Structure 1
Amino acid sequence: MTGPEPGAQGAAAPGAGPTPEQGEPAADETRPDGAAEETEERDQPQNAWSARRDLIDHSPRTMNVGARTRFGGGYVAGDQHGVSGGRVTGDVIMGSKTEIHHWSFSGFSTAAASGEIPRATLERLAASFVAAEETVGGLLDRLRRERVLVLSGARFTGRRTAALMLLHRLGAAPVRLLDRDTSPGALAERCTASAEDGQGTRGYVLCDLTTRRGSPLREAHLLAVRDRLAEQDAYLVITVGPTAALEDVPTAGWFPPAAEEVLAAHLRVRTDEATAARLLGLPDVKEFLGRGHQLRETAAFARLLARYAAGEVTGRDVAGFSLASLENQVQEWFEEDESAVPLRDKAFLVALAAFDGGPYALTAELGDLLYRFLQKTDNPARVPEVPVFGTHVGKRLQLARARLYEDDQHTEWGPVTQTMAAFTDDRVALVLLREVWTGHPSARPALVEWLRRLADDGRPLVRTRAASTVAVLARADLPSAMALVIEPWATSNRFRHRLVAVNSLTLAHFSDTPNVPRILDAWSGSEDRRLRWVAVRAYALIGPERPEQALAALRQAVRRLYTESGDPDDFDREMAAELAEAVELLLLSPAAAEVLAGLLGHLDDDRAVRDLALGGFINACRRTEGDERYGQPLVLGWYARATADDETAAQGIAHLWRRALGDPHATRPALDLLREWVLIADRSSPTEWALAALLPKLVTSEPEYQRLSHLLRTMPGEDGNPPPPVAARLLTTFG
């Protein structure tokens, strides 16, 4: 069989970037910004080990595949690159939508534009109203003095109910609801009592006053209405959102009470004290309270729990309520008109779903990029515009039900502290992306264009999140995600794009998307070299879950590589290196023992398979703890542990070392690697002890002894110094 010259396979230069591909189709997309695409000489593939590390470091929390359970760390590599936590994917979120039973979240109806609020409604709200007495007392004192109070708070924080309760505690009767579209200048004339209202204190409430930049609520409006209210012995409470247009108008802030207090109050109204206490102790109730639900959802949950206590609904209804209300909220965000959730805020919500738990500044930057693409879809004739200033971080996150916090971001220079943004409920990102992709297909062109731009970004975090986003879309609609995003990336001439395709398929598989292994099996035998490259990389990542199948596919690929190379000068060294790196990752995975056995079982099949096994093994041996130059070699550490609890693995590692040292194509890189281990042992006692245990197992013949003893006697130390003292100590282990 014709094959490469010595040193041509992956072991010769593990981790080195291959030369550019030649003879590829030229149908690659141009950069969106119109700049010339990077030259082939600059477009080098990231080595598989570093790419895997970036994937683990930058994957979102919703895809925490875990170092111990999927591809990160494991028996050999430990948890230095691991991601803690579990996944929240699965059919309950990523499959068909949860059925929503049309629960009413409102505390009272505002369907009528204006009119009197029934006293029975006020009494019912008062029975379950929860707020700090000090807060309510301060607001009542201010309302008594000024007659009109502007109550400012986020949507669904109970500000409407609070406004009504303030009037109710003042003894106002009746309480009339004013039209929210009442212009600020018409407030005074709307606060006019009719003859039918009788005598006594009257109340007016205007919920969610509509204001605009050209028609703000001004101090003069409040002064005019205050005079009118004093004439009637009446009071007015106006509720506004954080973004209302106000000029010189003092506001009182309203913040929601604790959800647990609200739920307990509502349950005590609907059940007895003992039943309420029992319901509050249910695991599903505690789960609900920990999700940061809005008060309207909490009130609706209390009604459902009361029905559950009465035997009218099942525990499954209780367990499903939290997710159903979350899906309802996400649908509202994308179905409501521009006045409620502007297009720019919708774009930010999508960006936050993609970059959940990532730097806020980055999320906002890329949210505005998506906003431009959405504007182009909405009106191709309009030049997309993005306001430079004006969006307050707190208000934006309030809408998104998200939070800011400080945390470290992984970078190539080490951890860097950043201000991160994340949804309060970790399920939101998955639900939101699925809703946008499947519920609003008209947004797909902009979303696809945005994802393609992200895949071209120079930041590993951005490219990884592009992949994780596509993985969610693939879980929701695999055919569309494949056709619109993954396949164009996989057939790109640029390694960067293909790597994003690899990560998309890997994360889709870890999110339980079906058929990913079938896709890779088909691509591994494709005539398109780019698809074979993607398949090899992906096998290295999902292989620990199916090591036998992964190794079989890699053996088939390397045999094809050798068969097609009739001339050694035409041997595809780049693909051989990729195959060796795939074996390297499998050996450093939780399935290390099975992979080692698989390599040994086929070591003598043929030259191609032997080169693959030895190349991957030597690559794996170069990896150290924490990727530090003088960290303990991972495979050597594995050997030291195996001598105590897994003799089969220990013998296998020693056998592969002997074969590598004795193979004419692998001897040189193997000896160079042993020299590196000796230098590490000179600085590390555990490494010295492990190497002292391994070296005698590598000598079973006189040539083997001569080779290793010569290495230890003649190897130079650091910077050309004499051999390190540890070399002489290791030489004595041969007896």
Structure 2
Amino acid sequence: MSEPDKAAEREKDKAEAEAPPEAEDAKNGERAKNGERAKNGERAKNGERAKNGERAEEAPSRTDVLNEQGQRGAIQERMGTERDALSGYVRAERYVGRDQHNHYYGAPGGQRGRVAPLRPRDVQEVEQAFVDPEDFGELCRRVRDRRIVILQGDRESGRFAAARRLLCVLGEGDPGPRLFGVDPAIGLDELTGEDLAEGGGYVYRDPVQPDALTTFGLDKAAGLLEAAKARLVITVDTARPLTDPRAAELASRLGRVPDRRDIARGLLALELGAAKAAVLLAEPGVPELLDGQLAQDGPPRHARNVALEFLHAYRQALPLARTAEQALRLRDDEQRADWFAGLDSLSLQCMAVSTAVLNGEPYETVALAAMKLKDVLEPDVPHADSLRGLDEPLRPTKRAWLSGLGARTVPSTVRLRYGSTAPAEVIRYLDPYAQGKVLGYFWSEFDEQRPRLLDWLRWCAEHPLESVRTRTAVATGFLAARGFDLVRALVIEPMAREQDRRYRTVAAAALHATVTQRPALREPVRDLLRGWSAPGEPAQLRAAAARAWRVEYESGVSAALDRLEEHASDPVVSVVAAVSESVTELWETDWDGGQVPERLLSWIRGADENRRITGRVAFLVAAGQLVRRMPGDDFDWPGLLHIAATDATRMRDIATLWREVLNDPLISKNVHEALSEWARTADEVPVVRHSLARLAVAAATDRTTAGRLRYAARRWAEGDRAAPASSADVLTALNGR
């Protein structure tokens, strides 16, 4: 090429770089016309819906969807609040507070086996922290020559621990006792010689089958055990009669533990070491609580419960005695009933329920919600304890309420409407699982108040603070796991039908909490969402179904994306917004996975015009919302930029997505706003700026895109919120191509 030709080419490149995007958009007039025709077609479809009785919505305005997004990071903060709220509940099927010993009876090929090794922890406990019941030494001498021993004990008597300890004592002298569990679901006569290891000790814990212990089965097992030089201890509840004479002959009763406090001390020493355990046991209030809980006769298992609550409080750096005391008094229904009845006013009882639902919110917010609940629960004639006599002085309540509830306030921050934060004191139960215990107790025991509780939850779900709405959604799901059809009909579905998209988010989060609490409800919830997704249903329900992507997430990212893809073809703006927000949440959840960007690209490049629109909008929502701060850093990354910077494949995918939206004239303003925000975030951090420059180069694979990026970068250096360093780095990188 001659020098004049090269000069002309440089002038052309310069003109293109300095031309605003609108100049290039003029070349794409036909494309804009096609977009307008698509809008007109969607309006016609909506007009047809109006004829059929469905409220017509305007055609999807991508700008409207993008402009309605909240402050950057708001979606991630909501998801964090939801995770925090879920952590205060245990699954509905799980018995709160019971020590669990779960063993997997597996075999090669996925078949269920008949025996499984006990955990090393099961052996350590009985070797280092076991306290002999009365006459345990005599029991060991009496059964030393037996291959089978049956231990009978009351509920929570520690018979499983005694069985393990007995096997360790009888196996002394052997090179390391090898202990195994026998599947309680099988009959004893199903054991074979292949199941038994030489010199092993076996625990057959509380056999399930009524006829598991027969003379035939016991004699057969004794022969197999003799051949293997092994032993078997069978545990049974004293409430279960041993009708077989051979079983009755082999049975021995467990004695009482002289001092249950020794069990708790031993377990603490095992967990923490003797020195730390001694310090813990000397903390104020701990000896008194230990005496109050364990000095008298009672089930040995309760000593384990006391030790576990002390350990939890110690590891969470919570007040030891107060935290353990509250957790112990909420451990079972009878104790919860006594505790709740002991709250000396309706106001305090309402504060207990309000704290259960809104645990982690500012104290003032929770107290206000409690007073609203009191108004809902109080009959027409006010409760006597809520009346204050004329001219009676006001009395402070905060300290008394916190003490009565077993709660505390801790410093925190709350996000304000426009993105800044403010200091606050949030209230939390000392027992981290008190939420489910208190709320579950109120739901199950107060029949007359149950509908009023649901009315109050509706009020909380419409609260102006998103964190309150989010915690309410989780509490609603917790209750739906116990009374699904009632809670669905009175709270969840009415919220899903609301015009305000925030309330549809509450409904979706409640359904997620429901299936998290009770996985058996996953299929009924799926059926519900399929019904909401039907073409003839109101747009609000279709949008709510699109927000409930996490119901499918249990089956994998692909399953959740498949469900969202079905909704992505819906032209109604509220559904487009719902899919976009759900894609952002899914991308946050599957942070560095590749399925989300790959699926968005498939939508954008596909034949379905509505999916192409939704794919672009969803990408821009994610680009504007997601942020990431790495441990030890004092600066933020634009979230998708961080993903791109750490993986070459993700860099390619995210650059391609930027190229697609940069060349869409109908959303050019929103695209440039999103890029400008990235530039401002990166401006003072060299590593982020350099990553932004790399991304720009990866996106600028054609002259049009490169020109648009140069134009955008030049504008970053202008105005009150300029990003001059980002502008310079990106322009340098682009001009160096």
Whether the TM-score (by the shorter chain) exceeds 0.5 is: yes
- Write the distance in 2 (CA, Å) between the matches of 1:436 and 1:497: 25
Alignment match, 2:361: 358
For residue 396 of structure 1, the aligned residue among 369, 378, 401 is: 401
For residue 370 of structure 2, the aligned residue among 367, 370, 384 is: 367
The CA deviation string for residues 224-276 of structure 1, in whole angstroms up to 9 with x for no partner, is xxxxxxxxxxxxxxxxxxxxxxxxxxxxxxxxxxxxxxxxxxxx993499877
- Counterparts of 1:546-561 in structure 2, within 5 Å, are 546-559=556-569, 561=570
Alignment match, 2:532: 523
Measured after TM superposition, the shift of residue 448 of structure 1 is 1.4
- 8 Å Cα contact 1:681/1:688 also seen in 2: yes
For residue 726 of structure 1, the aligned residue among 704, 728, 734 is: 728
Measured after TM superposition, the shift of residue 444 of structure 1 is 0.6
TM score, norm. by length of structure 1: 0.56
- Write the distance in 1 (CA, Å) between the matches of 2:721 and 2:691: 25
- Write the distance in 1 (CA, Å) between the matches of 2:408 and 2:721: 55
- 8 Å Cα contact 1:292/1:424 also seen in 2: no
Alignment match, 1:433: 439
Structure 2 residue 108 is matched with structure 1 residue 52: no
Structure 2 residue 587 is matched with structure 1 residue 587: yes
Structure 2: which amino acid aligns with 1:421?
I
Measured after TM superposition, the shift of residue 621 of structure 1 is 2.4
- 8 Å Cα contact 1:457/1:463 also seen in 2: yes
- 8 Å Cα contact 1:698/1:704 also seen in 2: yes
- 8 Å Cα contact 1:407/1:418 also seen in 2: yes
- Write the distance in 1 (CA, Å) between the matches of 2:383 and 2:344: 21
- 8 Å Cα contact 2:97/2:331 also seen in 1: no
- Write the distance in 1 (CA, Å) between the matches of 2:622 and 2:594: 14
Please, which moves more after superposition, 270-279 or 512-521?
A: 270-279
- 8 Å Cα contact 1:60/1:355 also seen in 2: no
- Write the distance in 1 (CA, Å) between the matches of 2:488 and 2:625: 34
Measured after TM superposition, the shift of residue 623 of structure 1 is 3.8
- Write the distance in 2 (CA, Å) between the matches of 1:284 and 1:277: 10
CA pair 708-717 structure 1, distance change in 2 beyond 3 A:
same
CA pair 686-478 structure 1, distance change in 2 beyond 3 A:
same
CA pair 684-649 structure 1, distance change in 2 beyond 3 A:
same
- Counterparts of 1:242-391 in structure 2, within 5 Å, are 270-271=258-259, 277-283=265-271, 299-301=292-294, 307=300, 325-327=328-330, 331-332=334-335, 334=337, 341-376=344-379, 380=380, 386-387=386-387, 389-390=394-395
Structure 2: which amino acid aligns with 1:524?
S
Structure 2: which amino acid aligns with 1:548?
S
SS at match of 1:403: strand
- Write the distance in 2 (CA, Å) between the matches of 1:48 and 1:680: 14
Alignment match, 1:691: 692
Aligned residue pairs, count: 494
The CA deviation string for residues 677-711 of structure 1, in whole angstroms up to 9 with x for no partner, is 45655544233311321233223344444544555
CA pair 664-435 structure 1, distance change in 2 beyond 3 A:
same
Structure 2 residue 487 is matched with structure 1 residue 481: yes
Return 5+ residue gaps in structure 1 as ranges.
11-20, 28-40, 64-86, 101-267, 563-571
SS at match of 1:554: helix
Measured after TM superposition, the shift of residue 579 of structure 1 is 2.4
Structure 1: which amino acid aligns with 2:78?
L
Alignment match, 2:467: 461
- Write the distance in 1 (CA, Å) between the matches of 2:347 and 2:404: 12
Structure 2: which amino acid aligns with 1:482?
R
- 8 Å Cα contact 2:329/2:339 also seen in 1: no
CA pair 706-451 structure 1, distance change in 2 beyond 3 A:
closer
- Write the distance in 1 (CA, Å) between the matches of 2:431 and 2:371: 23
Alignment match, 1:620: 622
SS at match of 1:605: coil
Alignment match, 1:415: 421
- Counterparts of 1:23-102 in structure 2, within 5 Å, are 47=70, 52-56=75-79, 58-59=81-82, 61-63=84-86, 87=87, 89-91=89-91, 95=94
Measured after TM superposition, the shift of residue 552 of structure 1 is 1.5
Structure 2 residue 478 is matched with structure 1 residue 490: no
CA pair 603-98 structure 1, distance change in 2 beyond 3 A:
same
CA pair 540-726 structure 1, distance change in 2 beyond 3 A:
farther
- 8 Å Cα contact 2:354/2:367 also seen in 1: yes
Measured after TM superposition, the shift of residue 436 of structure 1 is 0.9
TM score, norm. by length of structure 2: 0.55
- Write the distance in 2 (CA, Å) between the matches of 1:298 and 1:518: 53
- 8 Å Cα contact 1:618/1:670 also seen in 2: yes
CA pair 23-623 structure 1, distance change in 2 beyond 3 A:
farther
CA pair 509-706 structure 1, distance change in 2 beyond 3 A:
same
- Write the distance in 2 (CA, Å) between the matches of 1:655 and 1:718: 29
Alignment match, 2:654: 653
- 8 Å Cα contact 1:714/1:723 also seen in 2: no
The CA deviation string for residues 293-313 of structure 1, in whole angstroms up to 9 with x for no partner, is 9967864445578847xxxx9
Measured after TM superposition, the shift of residue 667 of structure 1 is 5.5
SS at match of 1:90: coil
Structure 1: which amino acid aligns with 2:701?
T
Measured after TM superposition, the shift of residue 726 of structure 1 is 0.7
- Counterparts of 1:444-455 in structure 2, within 5 Å, are 444-455=450-461
The CA deviation string for residues 165-207 of structure 1, in whole angstroms up to 9 with x for no partner, is xxxxxxxxxxxxxxxxxxxxxxxxxxxxxxxxxxxxxxxxxxx
Alignment match, 2:478: 472
- 8 Å Cα contact 1:492/1:498 also seen in 2: yes
SS at match of 1:281: helix
- 8 Å Cα contact 2:498/2:540 also seen in 1: yes
Question: Over aligned residues, Cα RMSD in angstroms?
Answer: 5.0
Measured after TM superposition, the shift of residue 437 of structure 1 is 0.9
- 8 Å Cα contact 1:55/1:503 also seen in 2: no
Alignment match, 1:611: 613
SS at match of 1:476: coil
- Write the distance in 2 (CA, Å) between the matches of 1:433 and 1:60: 18
SS at match of 1:442: coil
CA pair 328-584 structure 1, distance change in 2 beyond 3 A:
closer
- Write the distance in 1 (CA, Å) between the matches of 2:78 and 2:595: 24
- 8 Å Cα contact 1:525/1:532 also seen in 2: yes
Measured after TM superposition, the shift of residue 430 of structure 1 is 0.9
Measured after TM superposition, the shift of residue 500 of structure 1 is 2.4
SS at match of 1:407: strand
Structure 1: which amino acid aligns with 2:580?
A
For residue 536 of structure 1, the aligned residue among 537, 546, 557 is: 546
Measured after TM superposition, the shift of residue 659 of structure 1 is 2.9
- Write the distance in 2 (CA, Å) between the matches of 1:439 and 1:653: 53
Structure 1: which amino acid aligns with 2:484?
L
